[in-house]
């Protein structure tokens, strides 16, 4: 990504290699999956989940995923579900649950910034 934020209307999968956001926001309307051996380098961006149906954020990486900011803005009663082998997500900046439900499914989220 070089100049424009990424908006994915449906599912987004990183099956191999590195996904470098270059500080640009990433919005996912479907499921977001990070396979084993991949990296998602956010920089100073915000990762948004905004789908109208339940979504799954699957992280199968060996190391905890670092997100800069995380925002969930979904329809009331619609969930973002955490899945995968990685049990920890680190949010360096802010976490915002605007609307919707977050199911951590026993995983941990460390938030260094503010919970908005």
Domain segments of the chain: what residues? 6-111
User: Residue 1: what pLDDT?
Assistant: 61
User: Residue 94: what pLDDT?
Assistant: 97
Q: Region of 106 please: left (phi>0), alpha (psi -120 to 50) or beta.
A: left
Mean per-residue pLDDT pooled into runs of 10, the chain (116 residues): 90 97 97 97 98 97 97 96 98 97 97 92
Interatomic CA distance for residues 67 and 53, integer angstroms: 22
pTM of the model: 0.95
User: Residue 73: what pLDDT?
Assistant: 97
User: Residue 46: what pLDDT?
Assistant: 98
| Angle at the Cα of 40 from the Cα atoms of 86 and 94, rounded to 5 degrees | 80
User: Residue 2: what pLDDT?
Assistant: 77
User: Residue 114: what pLDDT?
Assistant: 93
């Amino acid at each position: 990504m070089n100049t424009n934020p990424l908006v994915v209307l449906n599912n987004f999968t990183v099956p191999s290699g590195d996904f470098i956001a270059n500080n640009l926001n990433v919005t996912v309307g479907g499921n977001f999956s990070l396979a084993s051996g991949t990296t998602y380098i956010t920089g100073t961006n915000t990762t948004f989940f905004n789908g109208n149906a339940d979504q799954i954020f699957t992280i199968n990486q060996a190391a905890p995923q670092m997100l800069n900011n995380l925002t969930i803005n979904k329809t009331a009663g619609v969930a973002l579900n955490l899945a995968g082998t990685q049990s920890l997500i680190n949010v360096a900046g802010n976490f915002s649950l605007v609307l919707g439900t977050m199911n951590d499914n026993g995983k941990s989220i460390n938030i260094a910034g503010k919970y908005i």
